[in-house]
Structure formats: structure tokens, C-alpha cells
Chain A
Amino acid sequence: MTTALIFLPLAGALLVWLLPLPGRASGVLATLIALAEVALFAVAVGRFDFGESLQLVDRQSWFSDLGVSYHVGFFGFSLWLAGLTVVVCAAAIGYATWANRERARAYHGLLLFLTGSIVGVFAAQDLLVFYVFFEAMLIPLYVLIGVWGGERRAFATVKFVVYTMAGSLLMLASIIVFGLSQGTFDLVDSGVSSNDWVFLGFLAAFAVKAPLFPFHGWLVDAYRESPSEVAAILSGVVSKAAVYGLFRIAIAKFPEPVQDFQVPILVAATIGLVYGSLLAFRARDVRSVTAYSSMAQMGLIVMGLFSLNELGINGAILQSVAHGLVSASLFLLAGMLETRTGTSAFARLGGLARGRPDLATVLLVVGIIALAVPGSVSFAGEFLILAGIYAEGWGWAAIGAGAIVLAAMYMLRLISAVLHRSRGEAVRDEALDLRPAELAVVLPLLAALLFLSASPNSITERNFPIQGSDGVEAAR
């Protein structure tokens, strides 16, 4: 089941690359495959028993002398992250089809390949398998940004890849040391370690991927130069690979180092939260605001994880899903704005609400959920995170709550700069409201957000197993 969930998009990618279909048709095929993936995910949820620990396991020895096996499966929380992936990626592929990108076959194939590797990351229960999928994500991202990106794409991709790979390679060294000292690379079979250096190696990879302050140098360039649907996946989903890694590996396998480094990590996360929010408030275009707010939100999520209690971690998972949906919607909307006006700069936008009710409504609703209005899923997530971190010290919670006010400031600024005020010079009268196809891409994401807002406990009550013998339990 899990294997099918990973390899359906990968096989789909191969199919899209090899079939000589014209551009649009290949996009439609890719969208259908992505929708089939969503359906498959729904089946997986149906078969999943949320009372139990690791499930839907597939295991096959890969090379036995070092104890490496292809071992995949889902926990409750990782199933939600995988769900986020398939939904956001399906929306992104649908949007890419509608936007009719050049070299469509290559493009859609790469998006499918990316989908499969991200699902693989969330399913990996073996360190080498995790590394393989973690790195495999990088290849399509590199090409997607490098070929289809904006003006400064070459710079952005090299920066992105060098940052990420530097972290990943440290992780590879850590994986080898951890695996050899444990005698197995399996995440379920292996015990815990107290080696600080190995922990830091893992932390480096996840801190870059998230990104955590001060490893965010690649973020804005990559988010700004990507095609909008790639930015949606990058900020919405790929950053959550870091969440999975931090929780499943760093926290679960290194209980002692986690305690030792809790305060420095919380400091970095808090700085990221506040600094990111301030940068978002100062940013001058839709994409930069979304990018920096993403960094701020990742800081908040890491705070939740490193509160090291169930409330905080539960909130971090919920917030990961919520932020993934919000951020993906915002980047897709940014793309839609750009196709209409050719820019996402606030100085040249404004007054788009007039005569464009659908666009205004969608952007407003997403924006309001993003600023965590009470009753929204983001509010639930942030509340849980703050409640969790409060147990570690009221100061953390106070700073966190303050930063959430900043979120309101930058989101409202974004909404007003785009929708209201006088008409911007880039906004022509002919600029259309959202087309049905665009609505079809955004509305499912919005519906998911609204559903989760109505019942956030459909995730929070299904994150953790009641009992289990593996490392995730040790982290709680």
C-alpha cells in the first residue's frame, strides 16, 4: 500500500516522460495520475487504524551486510503529512496544466517525480531510504527552478542546492555513524544514541531544509524565482520533510542531545519566528511576504516540536498541515496574480477586489486563516504550540504570541495592498477574475482548510498511537 503510494507518481513520471503526448495532454495525464494518487491516499486512510502505531508497512531487505532495508510505513502523523503532499501536489500539477508551461512533458514528469519522492520521505522507516528520498526531492526541484524559474534562476538554484546538499551530506555522515554503531539503519529496530555530533549532523540537514534561522539564506531566492506551483510545493510540503526528520529522527533517536540542545534550538526557532515575521512585514511583494511568513511559521512549528511535550508536538503537526495548505494556496494565488498583472510587487498592485469577487474572496479567506483568526485551523495549531511551549517557560510563549500579532499585520497588509486601495498601475481593466480552472485548483485547498478549521481534532486526535514500542514513543 505504502509502496504503491510512493511509486504510483514515480511510475507516472516515467509514463509522462516517455509517452509522446502534446503539452496539454501530458498535463491532463499528469493531473489524472495525481488525482489517482489522492484517491489512493484516501484508500490508505480508510485502511489505517488510528489506534495503532506504525502501519501499512512494506519491508524488503536491500543490502543485509550493513542492515539496510527498504522499509516504509506510516504513523498517524506522517500519514497526514503525506496527505498534505498528495493534495498540494495534485493542485500544483493541475495548475501547471492550466498554466500550460513550456516543455510540458518534462515539467509534469518532474512534478510527479517530486510528489513520489516527498511521499517517500514521509514513509521512510530506514535511514538510508530516508536519505535517498530526501536527496531525490532535490533533483526535480533543482531542474524545476533552474529551467522554468525567473530571471535569476541560475543563482537561486545553485544557492539552494549548495545549502541543502551541505546539510544533507552532514546528515549522510551522521547516518553512517549512527547506523554502524547501532548495527542497523532501520529506524524501528535501532535504539537511541547520545552522540551530540551525530545529532548535530542530522540537525544541520533539517535546519537547512526547514529553514531554521540562520540557515535561511537560500529561501527567498528559491521561493521568488520558482514557478508559482513549484514554490507552493517547496514552501508547503518540502519544508515539512524537515518536520518529519526532526520528529522521527532527531527527537526520537537522540533524547539526551535533544535535551542538551533544546534551548539553543528554541532560541533559533524564536528568532526565526520574530525575524521572519518582521521581514514579511517589510517585504514588497506577495511572494516575499509568503516566503518570509513561511520561515516564521517553520520557526513556530520547530518551537512546538522542541517543546518536547505532546501538546506542542501535536500542535506542530497540525500547524504543519495547516501551513502547508495556506502557503501552497498563497503561492498559487501569487502565480494567478502574476499571470494577470505580470508582477507581484505591492507598489504596482491594488484595487483588484473591484469586479473580481472570486479572487477577492479566496485571497481574503486564505489570508484570514493564515493570520490565525480564532476558529481557524492555524489558530488551533498555534494555540496548541503555545500551550505546549508554555510548559517549557512562559517567555517562549509570550514571544510566540507576540509574533502571531505580527502575522496579522503582514497578512492584512498583503490583502489590502493587493485587493484594496486605489488601482495599481499593473492592474488593467481586462484582468479577469479567477477562471473556473483556477478555482478548481484553489477551492479544494480552501475546502480542506475550512474542514480542518471546523474540526482540527480530526488530525490532532489521530496523530499518535496509543501505545507502541518504537522510538516515537520515546520522544513523547
Chain B
Amino acid sequence: MIETPSVDWFALSPTLALLAAAGVALLVSVIGPAWFRRAFAAFVVFAGFITAGVLAGFLFARTPDAQPLLNESMTRDRWAALAAIVLAGAGALSVLVSWGETRRDHAGEYYALLAAAGAGMVFFVGASNLMTLFLGLEWFSLALYILCALDTHRETSLEAGLKYLIVGSFGSGILLFGSALVYGATGELGFAEIAAAGVTDDSLLLAGLAMIVAGLGFKASAAPFHMWTPDVYQGAPTSVTAFMSAATKVAALVLTLRVLTVAFPEQEHLWTVAVAVIAIVSLAVGNIAALVQRDVKRLLAYSSVSHAGFMLIAVAANSELGGRALLYYLIPYSAMSIGSFAVVAARERELGAPVTLDNLGGFLWERPFLGASMWVFLLGLMGMPLTGGLVGKFYVFSAAYESGWWWLVVAGVIGTAISLYYYLRVLLAMWTRPEPTAFRPAVAGGSPPRDPLLASAVFASLAVTVGSFIFVQPLIDLARDAAASLPF
């Protein structure tokens, strides 16, 4: 008889809440009347995300010390709890952004999949074992593959889904292969046990480590593993892009730092350099490629690649301050990212066409609230004051300098300088009225559609973006408590 491990249900409750929401939404979208499905599913999933966030908050408060879960396959600690709070917030905002998407088919399934992806991510960030890591990764990835391809009538959506599926599976495959090599070298799957096995210079282990870093790099869309990002971000429904750009990055980066510090402390001299190089490549590729984009979603996709680079600088710092910097950075970054994609979504619905720099013309004057909010988000992504983006960059650079990576600071500064150019182009486009010849009137007449839920999501993102600049101390305290769970 196999002994069942004791289960700490409270520690799993955020995941379970989201899974329950996904299940209920899915069930109703099958058996409920057609008019009822969309509203009900959206409500249930929104409530699910909020519940998960609140439960994660309780978990954070009641977990001063890390505890192993489920035969040490997962960890209950503040690092995972804080990441779960951010993930839940990102998910809730995405639900609000999605509501205005008048999808007739698969409306209920859409929300169910969103909740399922969120559940997978919350599960993933708590992983402390290579198997649970892979399980969580595939769990949320599968949900995202479908979400990307959900608009079956749009060719680009199908393309995005397929591309993400193929490239993402490749990344997962690499990660799995790497895990197998690490297991072969150490005979262990748990992060802490891998470190305790005491294997240091085994080439099998090092190859495995490299593959794990690469596999996680795919999910974080860090260059050179970013090839899928622009196409998928552009093709996927914009609300899905908003969710992916924030949540996938949070999950992947948070877990990257955990697996590297917990499982591979002995190989620190190798992986910090590798991560630093990936960070620099991401900064270079993301920022330079964004310079020539016309499509705003593509541009923001490359911008997200460059931000992966910034956050990997914090990972490379491999210090308590680096962990703090990473978690802090993720909060305003998620808000700015979701907020900016939400504004793009609003414009897209208004025009019925992909948003480019040309048809963004005059947006600031036509929709002052959304336009001004977009300004704030872009200024935040640039790292300008009055947004948490500045403080985030400040912390990341400080962490890098403190760990002796002064050239990462220089690279980050150069990357930021390049990034100004393309962010400014979007800002400029929003206030410049289009030429009369190039002007294409909106498909429907009258004033643009009202979407109070989207507006409230934008407002919430705005509040987080600006609030994280003013109330740095409380957020940093949270991030410090969370980072204390990792062994530095």
C-alpha cells in the first residue's frame, strides 16, 4: 500500500480556486443557455482570480518560513505567494480587458482557459522539483496555446497558436531533456537535493543546467529564445497577449531565479555569466528590432523582450537585492504591460483593424483618458519618473552594481537609451493627426464604443504604475520578505 502524503490544502488553495473557476466556467459554457455563458464565465473567472489573489495574500502572511509540500515536490513560501498575487492581479485585469471582445464562439471556454492558465502558473511558481516544474510549465503552456489560436476565423490567430505550439513545445522539450540530464548526473529531481548531491563539474549536469536555462528562456521570451514572441503577440487576441506578456514573464522569471539559486548554487559562476549574456542579448535584440516596427503589438512584443533582459539582470545579480529587484520590477512591469495592451485592444476594437503607428494618429485627443494612460505606460516602460518603471530600473541596476556587474549597468543604460526612440515614436504618433489621405474612418459611425470594464482595468494598471512609484517602501518590504525565502 502506498502511503499518501499529507496535503496542505491551504497552500494549494490559490491554484485550486482557479481550477474550480475554470471547471465551473467550462461546465456552464457547455450546459448553460447561450446568452448566459459569456457573462457567467467572465464573472466566475474574475472572482476566481480575485479569490486566488486573496488566498495567496493569506498564504504570504502565514508563511514566514518556507515549508515543503507534497513530498517536497513543491514549496510553500513567500516567494511563490507574492508571485501568485501578481499573477492573480494580472489575470483579473486580463478578464476585464477581455470582456469587450465580442466573441460569439468559445466565449465561455476562453475564460475557462484563462483561469486554467493562471492556475498552472500559480502552481508552477511553487515548484521545487523538476517534475512539478515541467508539469506546471506544460499546464499553463497548453492553455495558452489554445488561447492564442482561439480566434479561429483569423488566420493570424491560428498562425500564432501554431507557432507558439511548435516553438513552445521545442522549448519544453529542451527543458525536459535538461531535467533528464540533471537527473542522470545527480540522481535527484528536487531542487534542494540536486544541490545537496554535491556534483559540481560534471559535464552532464552542466549540459542539463544550460538546457534548463534555455527552456525557461523560451517562456520568458528572452533573446535568443524569443523568435516566437513578436508573431505570437501580434497574432493572438490582444487580451491574451496582455495576459501572456505579464503573467508568463512573471512565472518564468520567478521560477528561473528559484531553480538557479536553490538547485545550482555550486555552478553560480557559470549560470550568472550565462544569464548576464542572455540579458544583454535580449536588451540588444529587443530594443534594436523594435526600432523598425510599425505594428504596435509587435513593437510592444519586442519591448517585452528587452524588459526580459532588464529583469534577467536582476537574476544575474544572484543576490538578495537582486531577488527584491526582480519581484519589485515585475509589479509595475505587469501593470504597464497589461495596461498598454489594453489600450491597444480598445483602439483595435474601435478600428476593426490591427493597430499601427499610422492609425494610432490623434488617439490622445480622441480618447484622452486612454491616450494619457498609454502615455504613462510607455513612459513607465522607458523608465521615466512618476512611474514604478524608474524605481524598477534603479533597483535592477543597483543590484547588478552591488554584485559587481558594472558592465550590465552600462548595457542596461545603453538599452534604455535606444528604447527611447521607439517609445517616443508611439507617443508622437498618438498626438499627431493623420494626414487626410491616410485617414481611414472608423468602421462604425458615432462615438467609440464605451467599455467601462476595460477602462477600469486601464485605471487599475495606471494606479499600480504610479502607486508603485510613490509607495516603494511597502512593496519593497513585501519583495524583501519574499526574497528571504530563497537561499542567497
Chain A: residues with CB nearer than 8 A to chain B? 61-66, 68, 103, 128, 131-133, 135-136, 138-139, 142-143, 146-147, 154, 157-158, 161-162, 165-166, 169-170, 172-173, 176-177, 179-180
Are A176 and B385 closer than 8 Å at their CB atoms?
A: no
Contact present for B420 and A132 (CB under 8 Å): no
State which size class the interface on B falls in.
20 to 34
A177 to B406: give the CA distance in the assembly, Å. 9
**Complex CA distance for A296 and B411, rounded to whole angstroms:** 34
B385 touches A180 (CB 8 A): no
- B473: which of A64, A154, A162 is its contact (CB, 8 Å)? A64
* Contact present for A139 and B473 (CB under 8 Å): no
From known contacts A61-B473, A66-B398, A176-B397, infer whether A165 and B390 are also in contact, taking CB-CB under 8 Å.
Answer: no
Could you write out 14 A-B pairs with CB less than 8 Å apart? A61-B473, A62-B472, A63-B391, A63-B472, A103-B365, A132-B385, A132-B390, A135-B385, A158-B421, A158-B428, A161-B420, A162-B417, A173-B397, A177-B401
Which 9 pairs, one residue from A and one from B, show the smallest C-beta to C-beta distance? A132-B385, A63-B472, A169-B413, A136-B385, A135-B385, A63-B473, A176-B397, A173-B413, A63-B476
Known A-B contacts A146-B431, A147-B431, A180-B402; A172 and B385 likewise in contact (beta carbons under 8 Å) = no
The B182-212 residues at the A interface (CB cut-off 8 A) are none
Q: Which residues of B contact A162 (CB under 8 A)?
A: 417, 420-421
**Interchain CB contact under 8 A, B385 and A131:** yes
Q: How far, in angstroms, from A154 to B431 measured CA to CA in the complex?
A: 11
In whole angstroms, what is the CA distance A161 to B390 when docked? 17
In the bound complex, residues from chain A placing their C-beta under 8 Å from that of B365 are 103
**How far is it, in angstroms, between the C-alpha of A62 and the C-alpha of B379 when the chains are bound?**
21
Assuming the A-B contacts A65-B324, A162-B420, A180-B401, are A128 and B476 also in contact, with contact meaning beta carbons closer than 8 angstroms in the complex? no
- B386 in contact with A166 (CB, 8 Å): no
Contact of B416 with A by CB under 8 A: yes
User: CB of B410 within 8 A of chain A?
Assistant: yes
Which residues of B in the span 389-418 have a Cβ within 8 Å of any Cβ on A? 390-391, 393-395, 397-398, 401-402, 406, 409-410, 413, 416-417
Residue in A63, A64, A139 with the greatest tally of chain B CB atoms within 10 Å: A63
Cα–Cα, bound, A158→B386 (Å): 21
Q: A130: shortest Cβ distance to chain B, in Å? A: 11
**B385, A133: Cβ atoms closer than 8 Å:** yes
Contacting residues, chain B, for A177 (C-beta < 8 A): 401, 406, 409
Mask, B446-486, CB within 8 Å of A = 1, is 00000000000000000000000000110010001000000
Contact A65 B476 (CB under 8 A): yes
Q: How far is the CB of B280 from chain A (nearest CB, A)?
A: 15
With a 10 A CB-CB cut-off, give which of A133, A135, A169 has the most chain B CB atoms.
A169
Q: B321: nearest residue on chain A (CB-CB)?
A: A65
Chain B min CB distance to A135 (Å): 5
Q: Which residues of B contact A138 (CB under 8 A)?
A: 384
Q: Which of B146-196 contact A (CB under 8 A)?
A: none
Residues of B within 8 A of A103 (CB): 365
Measured CB to CB, the closest approach of chain B to A178, in angstroms, equals 10
Q: Looking across the interface, which residue of chain A has its beta carbon closest to that of B475?
A: A63
Instruction: Tell me the minimal C-beta distance from A466 to chain B in angstroms.
Output: 35
| Contact present for B413 and A154 (CB under 8 Å) | no
With A and B bound together, what is the CA distance between A179 and B321 in angstroms? 15
Taking CB atoms, residues of chain B closer than 8 Å to A143 are: 431
Q: In the assembled complex, which residues on chain A have CB atoms less than 8 Å from the CB atom of B410?
A: 173
Whether B384 pairs with A139 at a CB distance below 8 angstroms is: yes
Of A68, A132, A139, A170, which one neighbours B413 at CB under 8 angstroms? A170
Contact indicator B409/A176 (Cβ below 8 Å): yes
**Interface SS of A by simple majority:** helix
Q: How many angstroms from the CA of A66 to the CA of B476 in the assembled complex?
A: 10
Find chain B residues with CB under 8 A from A135 CB.
384-385, 390
Find chain A residues with CB under 8 A from B421 CB: 158, 162
Contact between A173 and B409, CB atoms less than 8 A apart: yes
CA distance A157 to B393 in the complex (A): 24
Contact assessment for A146 and B385 in the assembled complex, using a CB-CB cutoff below 8 Å = no
Cβ contact within 8 Å between A172 and B420: no
A64, A136, A154, A173: the one within 8 Å of B386 (CB):
A136
CB distance from A374 to the nearest CB of B (A): 44
Complex CA gap A66/B479 in Å reads 14
From A63, A147, A169, contact of B417 by CB (8 A): A169
Q: Smallest Cβ distance from A149 to chain B, in angstroms? A: 12
- For residue B39, CB closer than 8 A to chain A, the reply is no
Does B428 contact A128, Cβ atoms closer than 8 Å?
Answer: no
In the assembly, what is the distance between CA of A136 and CA of B390, in Å?
A: 11
- Over the window 418-431 of chain B, the binary record of Cβ atoms lying under 8 Å from chain A Cβ atoms (1 yes, 0 no) is 00110010011001
Q: Please judge, given known A-B contacts A132-B390, A177-B406, whether A172 and B413 are in contact too, CB under 8 Å.
A: yes
- Contact yes or no, B420 A165, CB < 8 A: yes
- Are B398 and A176 in contact, CB atoms less than 8 angstroms apart? yes
CA distance A179 to B421 in the complex (A): 28
Q: How far is the CA of A157 from the CA of B427 in the complex (A)?
A: 12
Residue of B nearest to A131 (CB): B385
Chain B 33-63 interface residues, beta-carbon cutoff 8 Å to A: none
Most buried by A among B385, B420, B473, B476: B385
Chain A residues with CB under 8 Å of B406's CB are 177
Determine the residue in chain A with the shortest Cβ distance to B396: A176
Cα A231 to Cα B393 in complex, Å, equals: 31
Cβ 8 A contact of B428, one of A68, A154, A172, A173: A154
B149 to chain A, nearest CB (A): 39
In the assembled complex, the CB of B53 is this many whole angstroms from the nearest CB of chain A, namely 24
Q: How far is the CB of B269 from chain A (nearest CB, A)?
A: 22
Which chain B residues numbered 48 to 82 have a C-beta less than 8 Å away from chain A? none
Task: Give the shortest distance, in Å, between B74 (CB) and chain A (any CB).
Answer: 29
- Please give, as numbers and ranges, the residues of chain A lying within 8 Å of B427 by CB-CB distance: 142
Give the Cβ gap from B332 to chain A, nearest Cβ, in Å: 14
In Å, the complex CA distance between A250 and B390 comes to 23
With A and B bound together, what is the CA distance between A147 and B428 in angstroms? Answer: 9
The interface residues of chain A lying within 8 Å CB-to-CB of B476 are 63, 65
Flag B242-257 by CB within 8 Å of A: 1 or 0 each. Answer: 0000000000000000
Q: Which residues of A contact B391 (CB under 8 A)?
A: 63
Residue contact B385 to A62, C-beta cutoff 8 Å: no
Q: List B residues 341-391 near A (Cβ within 8 Å).
A: 365, 379, 384-386, 390-391
User: Which residues from 94 to 138 on chain B have a C-beta closer than 8 Å to any C-beta of chain A?
Assistant: none
Residues of B within 8 A of A128 (CB): 394
Contacts of B398 in A (CB 8 A): 66, 176, 179-180
Q: Which residues of B contact A131 (CB under 8 A)?
A: 385
